[in-house]
Amino acid sequence: MTAQILLNILRHSIIKMEAINLLILDECHHAVKKHPYSLVMSEFYHTTPKEMRPSVFGMTASPVNLKGSYSISQLSLGSGALLLSS
């Protein structure tokens, strides 16, 4: 599913973040500013108690923008995230 669909599903309480065991984010370098990935993380992941949060697996082939590389915290993935880049 797309990031926007996941955001909509969470916002409408169709599923709760606590029901997700593994959150896989493809192209996670987009998780900045108001991108749906970033909103999922700020509105739902970071507001879920730590013991109930899913593991996060972020993947990207493009970890660099024109201004330099992103850090995990800039991508809104959280400190426990695993980021893979090719």
Residues in Cβ contact with 32 at an 8 Å cutoff, skipping those fewer than 6 apart = 38, 70, 74, 75, 76
Nearest to 17 by CA among 79, 42, 69, 72: 42
pLDDT of residue 83: 54
Q: What is the pLDDT along the chain (86 residues), one digit of tens a residue?
A: 899 999 999 999 999 999 999 999 888 888 888 999 999 999 999 999 999 999 988 888 775 554 555 554 445 555 555 555 44
Q: Which DSSP letter does residue 28 get?
A: G
Predicted TM-score (pTM) of this structure: 0.74
Residues in Cβ contact with 42 at an 8 Å cutoff, skipping those fewer than 6 apart = 76
pLDDT of residue 28: 85
pLDDT of residue 86: 43
